[in-house]
Structure 1
Amino acid sequence: MSKNYLLFSKQESRLYMAFMHVTFASLLIGGLMGLLQTLVRSGKFTLPFGIDYYTLLTVHGVILGLVFTTFFIIGFQNSLMGKTVGISDKQRKAAWLAFWIMLIGTAMAAVTILVGQASVLYTFYAPLRAHPAFYIGLTFVVVGSWIAAFVNFRQLYVWKKAHKGEKSPLLAFMVVINMIMWFIATLGLAATVIVQFIPWSLGYAETINVLLSRTLFWYFGHPLVYFWLLPAYMAWYAIIPKIIGGKIFSDSLARLAFILFLMFSIPVGLHHQLTEPGIDPTWKFIQVILTFMVIIPSLMTAFSLFATFEAAGRKKGFTSLFGWFKKLPWKDVRFLAPFIGMLAFIPGGAGGIINASYQMNALVHNTIWITGHFHLTVATTVVLTFFGITYWLVPHLTGRRLTPKLNKLGIIQAFVWTLGMAIMSGSMHIQGLIGGPRRSSFSEYAGGEQVATWLNYQLAQAVGGTILFIGIILMVYIFIQLSFFAPRGVEEFPIADEEEDAEKSPKILENWYLWIAITIALILFAYTIPMFDIMRHSPPGSVPFDWPIGR
């Protein structure tokens, strides 16, 4: 039997499924908060029981942007490492420790938000101040994820020692790249939370340096986007080819793309701060240029994917120009959902270029265009790919089958999600172009013709949000079925092989010291002088401790 059909041990499956259970509970809670948000913004609905709009907004952002994504990614990546390089008992116990620390931190942060003590949005910008438990909870989540990262590093290290001179499995290589990026990026988050926010929220520090805190956040905030995206790329590069009956187009191209993402995703956070004073415009411009460098591995990925699709079709005998495209497995939700995500990344990537462009950013900065962009990239490209992974990963872990009925329901879910997101994200983009603000509730708008125009688009967002919530209900139902009720069987863990005639990957691609050193050098180049200027020239802290908790 192929290794792809060999099930994990019960102990391993329980570990990976624990992350999945938290993931889909988060999806349901965060999705409900998002639905309520869109209804409030439509002007047709008032929140009952005195619930604060910004509490909903914070829950939605934190639960879906941080909890849903992080738990899915770590669970999925752990399963990839377990399948490709194995996991020892000690490593599994450490992974459980990571899970429980992350879960405790999530619960701490969630409670403070729900009781109205942390309505600070998922960016938690100062001068908004949350209860100390919120920041301590975030610290727990980060520390837990670090433990998970070092478990993955150890897994590959042990495998390399046992297979001297061999090329590491592609998926294991990709996981380690993503976790190196995550670890380096979260150092900025840990620094601002531990050094600035926790002392300030506890009253030990009278003031907080706002610009420094925002800069440290965005040092983390931009690579966070790629932490979300790279697991989707893992599926596109190494799993989708197996599902369509093809092979990996180029192992070395895939590794090089991930290395480039590592190098160019971290030292670019200032492009989120283009409108902020106190940062030298020269360094903003330099980071804009570095941001555009990420386009290169994105285009490499697009080329590799469509080369894989065409090669698979040609091998099946389709010789016409687009015959291979017609014969892709459109009725297989494991392929369809991620493919829709790939298509969504085309306009999503174009929007990202606008956001990072110095002049054009001024038009859309802090408008709801930005929200629409995140929903197009993360909530469509990434989430639909995660759904596509769920259709084979969960039954493989639970020893069940993706039945034709569930597959058909998954296809319906994918189209429902696509329709809802097209309506909601599209109206957000348009409203942003005419000046509609982000983060604001309907009750805060003054009257006037412009506001009436905004409300038309916000009504469309409510329609889209309602359709999306139907999609969430369908997805949670499918997850429950695949976890507990689908017929017993064996579902493939689809990992593709490399093309037989592919060129051998150069050993330099696995020179970890080189690529990490270049990454650190780029970070030091991009941030040393700006950070020195911020600490030297910005006020010692103009925001007093008695600034109110929450918004």
Structure 2
Amino acid sequence: MISQTTKLKVDPRDGKLAMAHFYVAFIALALGGLMGLLQTLVRSGKFELPWGIDYYQILTVHGVLMGLVLTTFFIMGFQYAAISRTAGTHSPAARRIGWIGFWVMTVGTIMAATMVLLKEASVLYTFYAPLKAHWIFYLGLTFVVVGSWLDGAAQIMTYARWRKENPGKPSPLLSFMAIINTVMWIVATLGVASTVLFQLLPWSLGLVDTVDVLVSRTLFWYFGHPLVYFWLLPAYMCWYAIIPKIIGGKIFSDSLARLSFILFLLFSIPVGFHHQLTEPGIDPAWKFLQVVLTFMVIIPSLMTAFSLFATFERYGRSKGATGLFGWFKVLPWKDARFTVPFIGMASFIPAGAGGIINASNQMNQVVHNTIWVTGHFHLTAATSVVLTFFGISYWLVPHLTGRKLTKAMNKLAIIQGWVWFIGMAFMSGAMHFQGLLGGPRRSAFSTYGDSAQALEWIPYQIAQAVGGSILFLGIILILIIFINLAFFAPKGEEEFPVGEAENSEEKAPMIFENWKLWLGITALLIIFAYTIPFIDMIQNAPPGSEGFKTWGSW
């Protein structure tokens, strides 16, 4: 009997569901990208929004579509396909649950987007109280989360079936990574689901008069920081397990890759307070603890960098490269499947350095709530992550649609990657510099006034508009490529590349598959980091009324 792990192609039935996710993701990219362009033009001071459109309305559309819709749909589609490729075709029951999850997410997205477009939910992508949205917006977000849980359940079912059929064997690396990310997402979204269901939705419906803002913000950031790793880990999946196959090399270490993902699961969730370092009501000792836990995430990031560059160097040496950086020259720079994700990898070096600054108590005081933070997010999510997603789509979309990545599309894809990098260098770079000068985030140009400091920001805002315009050109290019690969490219077979470990005799320790252990440690870390602070928040809520309180000053 041929092992299911030897399947070279995703089952067409699974491919249809994965492509359905990608269609929604790229529609979100088109609309969200347009809103991002309009934002940069408004902040330049040279453009006014037409037809009574509000700046914070387009800011909300951009954040929700790019930060939540694009990422969630793409990731779920990619992971669904990756598990089908490595752990075997999904069962009819798993596929049915996956489709239900997709449609629940899609309906929720439409509900939330409709309220934003009707100016009933201009609450930004963080939707902090005391900003209030229409209850349909909150219900729509709930549907998106619940739908993603169903999507995740379908993936877990197939993984569990593989484990049952292959007792005592480590699961395929890509499947293991996908399940780690899914589990992390489910645990993290419990926070945002709690604040929406038990605070914001009843408040919006008029069932309660007020909400405790600190509790709602804390529950959001319990979710908000692992959200960043939910974006990032699929990129790591590509870097660890797919890029080695594309370049013709081997995975440096299967076990090292699994260990790094386990560490991300443990240390990505109980660290939300480092987004709340300037907020009252949280004891500094607990902030310090979570800052320490935040820095622990640097360890698997450095492990990833070591593994990747070890893979590149060993490949280069096998091709006769000599010297310290000789391997760099022999990498397949003319292959968009490698080059575009590599640009994302390289961008993560300054992005990671910026993250260390954001998480550091003293340095955070300088950049907190400035547009520096926005620039940081655009380096991490909108460059490292999104460029890797684009690189994945260049081979995965034709693989799922039975088409080929042509030389013309490959060349255009490389151009698109460099256009994106140049646009982001302008926009994110200008955001970082303006942030160091105190430029606020989430603000339109008209709110700055004509102070000397505001005038000092103008060159950086114009640079952001230039960068935003270049990035929008990059969005047009990726949409052209996606449509071609989905509908018009020549019929053929495109590889779903999955790498093999360099040491074929290496067997990952089965302790990595001990979910009771890792989920238990995760739960203990969360309880340890949040229980006493939550008790303090509730017992020492601001005076004014019984039950939930609104902090008007926020």
The TM-score normalised by the length of structure 2 is 0.97
Instruction: Describe how 1:22-101 pairs up with structure 2 within 5 A.
Output: 22-86=24-88, 87-101=90-104
Shift of 1:148: 1.1
Instruction: Describe how 1:384-399 pairs up with structure 2 within 5 A.
Output: 384-399=387-402
Instruction: Describe the SS at the equivalent of 2:252.
Output: coil
The match for 2:462 is: 459
> Given the alignment, which residue of 12, 15, 31 partners 1:13?
15
CA distance in 1, matches of 2:527, 2:97: 32
Residues 309-318 or 70-79, more deviating: 309-318
The match for 2:221 is: 218
Aligned-residue RMSD, C-alpha = 1.5
- Post-superposition CA distance 1:353-379 (Å, at most 9, x none): 000000110000000000000000100
Q: Does residue 109 in structure 1 map to residue 112 in structure 2?
A: yes
CA distance in 2, matches of 1:50, 1:463: 24
The aligned amino acid for 1:496 is G
- 1:368 touches 1:428 (CA, 8 Å); kept in 2? yes
Which residues of structure 1 form unaligned runs of 5+? none
> Given the alignment, which residue of 482, 485, 488 partners 2:485?
482
- 2:97 touches 2:153 (CA, 8 Å); kept in 1? no
Q: Does residue 543 in structure 1 map to residue 550 in structure 2?
A: yes
| Higher RCO (CA 8 Å, separation ≥ 6 residues) | 1
- 1:35 touches 1:469 (CA, 8 Å); kept in 2? yes
> Given the alignment, which residue of 290, 293, 296 partners 1:287?
290
Instruction: Describe how 1:327-338 pairs up with structure 2 within 5 A.
Output: 327-338=330-341
CA distance in 2, matches of 1:522, 1:7: 39
Instruction: Describe the SS at the equivalent of 2:495.
Output: coil
Residues 3-12 or 184-193, more deviating: 3-12
The match for 1:162 is: 165
CA distance in 2, matches of 1:194, 1:173: 31
CA distance in 2, matches of 1:541, 1:75: 39
- 1:5 touches 1:490 (CA, 8 Å); kept in 2? no
Shift of 1:5: 8.2
> Given the alignment, which residue of 234, 237, 258 partners 1:234?
237
- 2:541 touches 2:549 (CA, 8 Å); kept in 1? no
Shift of 1:500: 3.1
Shift of 1:311: 1.2
The aligned amino acid for 1:77 is Q
The aligned amino acid for 2:133 is A
Q: Does residue 529 in structure 1 map to residue 536 in structure 2?
A: no
Closer, same or farther: CA 315–123 of 1 in aligned 2, 3 Å: same
> Given the alignment, which residue of 149, 154, 157 partners 1:151?
154
Instruction: Describe how 1:242-391 pairs up with structure 2 within 5 A.
Output: 242-391=245-394
Which residues of structure 2 form unaligned runs of 5+? none
Instruction: Describe the SS at the equivalent of 1:375.
Output: helix
- Post-superposition CA distance 1:424-450 (Å, at most 9, x none): 000000000000000000111111221
Shift of 1:542: 3.9
CA distance in 1, matches of 2:451, 2:217: 33
- Post-superposition CA distance 1:296-346 (Å, at most 9, x none): 000000000000111112222323332221100011010001101011100
The match for 1:178 is: 181
Q: Does residue 142 in structure 1 map to residue 145 in structure 2?
A: yes
The aligned amino acid for 1:521 is L
The aligned amino acid for 1:397 is L
The aligned amino acid for 2:128 is Y
Residues 226-235 or 313-322, more deviating: 313-322
- Post-superposition CA distance 1:452-478 (Å, at most 9, x none): 111111011000000000000000000
Shift of 1:89: 1.1
Q: Does residue 471 in structure 1 map to residue 474 in structure 2?
A: yes
- 1:250 touches 1:502 (CA, 8 Å); kept in 2? no
Closer, same or farther: CA 261–502 of 1 in aligned 2, 3 Å: farther
CA distance in 1, matches of 2:324, 2:427: 35
CA distance in 2, matches of 1:218, 1:462: 29
The match for 2:448 is: 445
CA distance in 1, matches of 2:506, 2:91: 33
Instruction: Describe the SS at the equivalent of 1:39.
Output: helix
In the alignment of these two chains, the number of paired residues is 546
CA distance in 1, matches of 2:503, 2:366: 50
The match for 2:499 is: 496
CA distance in 1, matches of 2:505, 2:473: 44
Instruction: Describe the SS at the equivalent of 1:50.
Output: coil
Shift of 1:3: 7.8
- 2:7 touches 2:85 (CA, 8 Å); kept in 1? no
- Post-superposition CA distance 1:188-229 (Å, at most 9, x none): 001000000010000000110000000000000000000000
The aligned amino acid for 2:419 is V
Closer, same or farther: CA 199–462 of 1 in aligned 2, 3 Å: same
Residues 309-318 or 234-243, more deviating: 309-318
- 1:23 touches 1:69 (CA, 8 Å); kept in 2? yes
CA distance in 1, matches of 2:398, 2:156: 27
The aligned amino acid for 1:487 is P
- 1:400 touches 1:487 (CA, 8 Å); kept in 2? yes
- 2:191 touches 2:223 (CA, 8 Å); kept in 1? yes
Task: Give me the identity figure in percent.
Answer: 66
- Post-superposition CA distance 1:356-414 (Å, at most 9, x none): 00011000000000000000010000000000000000000011111010000001100
CA distance in 1, matches of 2:435, 2:404: 44
- 2:366 touches 2:436 (CA, 8 Å); kept in 1? yes
Closer, same or farther: CA 3–487 of 1 in aligned 2, 3 Å: farther
Shift of 1:511: 1.1
CA distance in 1, matches of 2:432, 2:448: 19
CA distance in 2, matches of 1:311, 1:96: 42
> Given the alignment, which residue of 177, 201, 208 partners 1:198?
201
Instruction: Describe the SS at the equivalent of 1:446.
Output: coil
Shift of 1:501: 5.1
- 1:410 touches 1:478 (CA, 8 Å); kept in 2? yes
CA distance in 2, matches of 1:27, 1:373: 19
- 2:28 touches 2:70 (CA, 8 Å); kept in 1? yes
Instruction: Describe how 1:510-521 pairs up with structure 2 within 5 A.
Output: 510-521=513-524
CA distance in 2, matches of 1:216, 1:499: 42
Shift of 1:14: 1.1
Residues 535-544 or 379-388, more deviating: 535-544
